[in-house]
Structure 1
């Protein structure tokens, strides 16, 4: 019966059987996959529980470290998410009839963990979230009261005891050891037992009460992770880890068991279906193979004819009533027509081969001329000829544009109308290249124009910089010369002061000798007539000393006026010295008058001699004071000399640096000129080419404000320095004029 069934029906029956078999397998697999996915979700939920538990622990750690209330809210939110995941996991365990005891214990433990954390957070709130609130703030206020009181008492023992209390408090805060509480109480007790600090006892008791209240809460909270609520939290967390591990093992075991069951079921069903399909295929294959072998022999004979292996072809066996027999009958009808058509096709193919060889060599003018009875081959011939016409036209278009490119004219573009595919992409790419070249040339010309403007500006600025640097160098040279003149003047003044000191010593010696002579005058008044000449000589010496002292005070007044505000005191002293010199001159005149009448007035001469001795003593003291003042002036002059020498060295160093800046600016000017030449060359090179937008290109704008500011600042600095140089030159000239006009000082 199977031999009368067509191959199509046989294949349909076999396809239906295979289709239903695969549908059954797919349904079974989807059911199994659903169960495996559910088990995988359960495993994923356990991992989520583990992650959420880590998040809870993170929030716990963050709260303990940062004392921020936002971590409490985050803890509560995460805990609610854990309970939601737990409900899903409980439903899935129930679906597979798995034990939920571990999950229920995990829920109880987690609730306990949340309760302990809330209790811990409440204790921390009572302790204080910041150093200024709750017990923290209260303790700080109390300890500051105690410390302020101790500082006001000015008692070293009390202050050291208070600092020791703070040390024990800080040690407890850092290490959370109970021994520091005992040390704290011991120090407090010693202060409370001391009757000297009775007024301080209330403050100490308040301080102790606040500290002990804080330590009790810290102890309840836990000094470490093994005590107090912290220890309970650790134990709870470890318990949840174990429960979650047990739950994970249950889910993993169920997953393995379900996977093994599904694998065994799939193997049995798949093997049964495969055996049935193989048996059906063998039966159908035997019947179809027999018909196909005969059909194959006929086709081989026909293909041998087509391939020129034989000159004739035999008809196929068309006795069967199945599809193969029907195909053999149809093939036999077309074998004769095929003989004629194959010959024409061969002619057309030979012609196409010749045309293809020409195209391969690069010639596109050849066309296919032969025809065939096959519409497809004729259509292929027409399509190939049209393709060659279109390709030739496109290549001519492309060549025309490329020839213009070779002449540096980039304004042309390839026409893309009625073009598609890779040729269109080629034409578009050529047009894109042309646009890119146009943009590049526009950008190049724009950069060249902008660079040209910038280079011109740079040349101008560098030229200004060179001019200003040279001006600065010249100004510094003038300043150095003025400083050297000032230094020379100070050295000369210092030498003059030294000479003044030497002359003052001589004056002091002369005053001492005058005093000695006055004493001799008193003891030898009886021989006054014989000593008149000596007295006259003494009077002449006194006149000379008075004259020189007057000149000295005059020069001291000039120096004080030159010193300005700082020399006012010295001017007063100079005036007093001048007055003293005047008085000395008056005394000398009086002594001279007394000598003239000494012969008749010996007794009066003795009294006058006594007065003269007193005048000499006062003169000696004043001369001593003058010597001290001259010594001070000498020291100040030396210091001024050292300072001016240092200023002179600095000016010389600055002058050297300015010369280097001038050299650098000169080199920079040469570089800017080269840059300007390069910019001009870029613009000229761009103008030699033709491209779109060539005449509308503008130079790129460059912000030159940052280049002008330093130049302006340099100019202002130079002007300021020139003004200073003028002032120094004028002052130096004044000093020289004063020095040259002081004839009396030069004579002294």
Structure 2
């Protein structure tokens, strides 16, 4: 074999070797694509070589990924989750020889297949909210009964206090009359003493008159016949003195009896006066107790009203939270009771427009400010429900976050205004209570 033939043979061998290498390379590439195809037929697929150069991206990946460096970072950091501009994806990484094959699957906010933890949590939250709502409603009914009883107690205590005041007034009048009676009795005692002194004077005069008549009789007897006329006069004077003495004695007996009776009346009157004074003091204590009881009863009315107001407001807040929870359950694809209604036809709206809210709170300044933000909550919530609910609807994470942010911002102001309404109502209640209890 000459030199030329050897050269040709060598070239053929080199060509064959290159052909084999190319064939092997093609086989590897085919196997690579087979691995890619087997790895996923639905997800976005991206492949990098050992130098982190992009060597493959399927149509789904090319249509959704603008910056592959984010995917490469996930590969380098072995992340199982990827956040793009407008969606999130689960990352599945497989290595084949020196290639990194990345499967990207969009995550749906409705996807709860992995254990259903979110769904169970949401169900528990919903149940807890419903239970709390029922508790508030039960408390509200009980407070209504307490408020009725407190009002009846307050009215009864007021009536009792008025009766006590009437008794106090009557006892004061009786005490005054007894004081007058005591003064009259004291005056009678003094008058009877004066009469007794006058009787003593009359008795002395009768005694002296009797002595004079005796002396006159003696002188008449001494004068004989000439003194007979004077003797008759002396006898009449003696008779008059005797009758005067008898009359004075009778008057003295009567006055003594009057003095005894007057003394008994005075003693009895003093006892009655003492009893009246003691009764008056007890009634005064009772009156103070009744006043305190009435104030406490009235205060309990206002306290019950204040507690009722707090429950009213918190029940309104709870209704609002339940509405939002139902919205989020709808967006998450869970069982829900969400109904797309405007801000007039939800529980809070009815409470505000025609229910207890209007009845109890419509006169406070902040009441009107609530409607604007409540309207925003429902408007944005209904838009979110329309655009992003249901498994067949795919909303970007950013869109959902933006809508929820609008709902939550308005909802925060709903709570702020509900708190203002409660504060202003309680201020009114406290002013009314202070005026009634302390004036």
Flag the structure with larger Rg: 1
TM superposition score category, shorter chain reference: 0.3 to 0.5
Q: TM-score, normalised by structure 2?
A: 0.45
Q: Give TM-score scaled by structure 1 length.
A: 0.28
